[in-house]
């Protein structure tokens, strides 16, 4: 477990080294705890007077997490599964108490990582704790926005493959693979939409719950965060709509390919059915068959078989099945 504390000194955020929980400064406005186990989380929360509940044996919780208010605390639980992105999964607990922000995180939690990289360049306001909370929300929305941009780019790339202007190019596309990729992207969108709802829920609590009063200079930032959350929701809805339509188109093209294959099988069966019937008749082992005594019976039989195959082929072509 690694503990990093930040305090306000000389109108700037200063990082303080912390070797043990007992060394955490009383005036710390942000305590960032990385890679703790369940016992360490509960012990540190008890030392800081926080209410944190983890029912599982390990530092894990629901698939995407939730937001709740307990007394004077705002608690946000988040678990991010990123196997499709090649990034490690991350678990995070964000607690906003009466005087500080506390984050517990395992794995990759980009919003907290962005805040840690930018905090020393920030100028503290009248309420540094809430300033950091809004900055975490802004970082989370930035991460979500980039993920949505990547999702939209993937949709457009798949659309250019599936909806190619030429049949020859489209014929080379593995539609089943495209459909599988779109299915994985749809699952990713579910996670992104859930993450967006968590952010929106926190913004809503900060706007309406009087237990978390913001100073005037942060109200405008919160309004901007609310507007960004609304824009992200609209953007995600647009991607979902594009994705659904593209999946329907892909399934339709797969059906067309199957119909083409079935049509060719039908054509082949139609063309060869009359010659097969004639061959079956003349292949019978009856003792008295007048055709067997004819000198040119073999040639006539071949000619009739060819003619019986040509006539259905002409009919099929006339109906446009070969186009």
Does the pLDDT value for residue 50 go beyond 80?
Answer: yes
pLDDT band for position 239 (cuts 50, 70, 90): very high
Which domains are assigned to the chain? 1-118 (3.30.460.20), 260-318 (1.20.58.340)
Q: Are 76 and 65 in contact (CB under 8 A)?
A: yes
Distances (CA, A) of 42 to 113, 221, 287: 22, 32, 97
What H or E segment, with its residue span, contains residue 74? strand 73-80
Q: Over pLDDT 90: what percentage of the chain?
A: 20
Query: Which alpha helices (H) appear in 163-296, and where do they start and end?
Result: 167-171, 175-208, 216-282
pLDDT reported for residue 31: 93
Q: Which value, to the nearest 10 degrees, does the dihedral of the CA atoms of residues 53, 55, 56, 62 take?
A: -80
pLDDT band for position 65 (cuts 50, 70, 90): low
Distance CA 278, CA 283 (A): 8
Q: Are 75 and 94 in contact (CB under 8 A)?
A: yes
How high is the mean pLDDT of the chain? 84
Does the pLDDT value for residue 290 go beyond 60?
Answer: yes
pLDDT reported for residue 273: 86
pLDDT reported for residue 169: 63
Average pLDDT over residues 38-63: 75
- Pairwise pLDDT comparison (292 vs 297), residue with the higher score: 297
| Residue from 22, 54, 51 nearest 37 by CA | 54
Distance CA 186, CA 94 (A): 27
Q: First-to-last CA distance in the chain?
A: 69
pLDDT reported for residue 103: 92
Express each pLDDT in 139-172 by its tens digit: 888 888 998 999 999 999 888 888 875 666 666 7
pLDDT band for position 234 (cuts 50, 70, 90): very high
Per the rule left: phi > 0, alpha: psi between -120 and 50, beta: everything else, 237 is alpha
Q: Is the pTM of this model over 0.85?
A: no
- The token duo for 203 is 């913004």
| Residue from 73, 32, 29 nearest 52 by CA | 73
Express each pLDDT in 124-133 by its tens digit: 988 999 999 9
Q: Please name every residue paired with 106 in a beta bridge, in sequence order, or none if there are none.
A: 91
Distance CA 16, CA 11 (A): 15
Q: Could you tell me which residues come within 8 angstroms of residue 260 by beta carbon, excluding any fewer than 6 positions away?
A: none
Report the largest interatomic distance among the alpha carbons of the chain, rounded to a whole angstrom.
118
Express each pLDDT in 69-89 by its tens digit: 888 889 887 766 554 454 556
Distance CA 29, CA 213 (A): 16
């Amino acid at each position: 477990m690694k503990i990093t504390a930040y305090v306000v000194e000389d109108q700037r955020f200063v990082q303080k080294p912390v070797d043990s929980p007992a060394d955490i400064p009383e005036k710390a406005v942000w305590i960032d705890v990385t890679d703790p186990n369940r016992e360490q989380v509960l012990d540190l929360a008890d030392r800081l007077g926080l209410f944190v509940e983890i029912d599982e044996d390990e530092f894990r919780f629901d698939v995407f997490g939730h937001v709740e208010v307990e007394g004077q605390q705002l608690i946000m639980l988040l678990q991010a599964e990123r196997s499709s992105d090649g990034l490690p999964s991350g678990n995070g607990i964000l607690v906003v108490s009466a005087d500080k922000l506390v984050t517990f995180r395992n794995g990759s939690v980009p919003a907290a990582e962005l805040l840690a990289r930018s905090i020393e360049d920030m100028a503290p306001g009248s309420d540094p704790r809430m300033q950091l909370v809004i900055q975490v929300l802004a970082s989370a929305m930035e991460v979500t926005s980039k993920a949505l941009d990547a999702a939209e780019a993937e949709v457009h790339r798949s659309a250019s493959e599936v909806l190619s202007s030429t049949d020859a190019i489209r014929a080379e596309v593995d539609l089943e693979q495209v459909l599988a990729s779109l299915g994985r992207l749809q699952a990713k969108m579910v996670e992104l939409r859930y993450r967006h709802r968590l952010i929106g829920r926190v913004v809503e609590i900060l706007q309406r719950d009087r237990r978390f009063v913001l100073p005037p200079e942060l109200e405008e930032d919160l309004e901007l965060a609310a507007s960004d959350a609304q824009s992200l929701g609209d953007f995600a809805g647009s991607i979902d709509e594009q994705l659904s339509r593209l999946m329907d188109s892909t399934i339709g093209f797969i059906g067309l390919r199957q119909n083409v294959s079935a049509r060719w099988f039908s054509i082949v069966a139609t063309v060869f059915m009359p010659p097969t019937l004639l061959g079956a008749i003349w292949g019978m082992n009856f003792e008295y068959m007048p055709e067997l005594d004819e000198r040119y019976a073999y040639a006539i039989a071949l000619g009739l078989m060819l003619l019986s195959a040509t006539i259905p082929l002409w009919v099929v072509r006339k109906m446009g099945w070969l186009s």
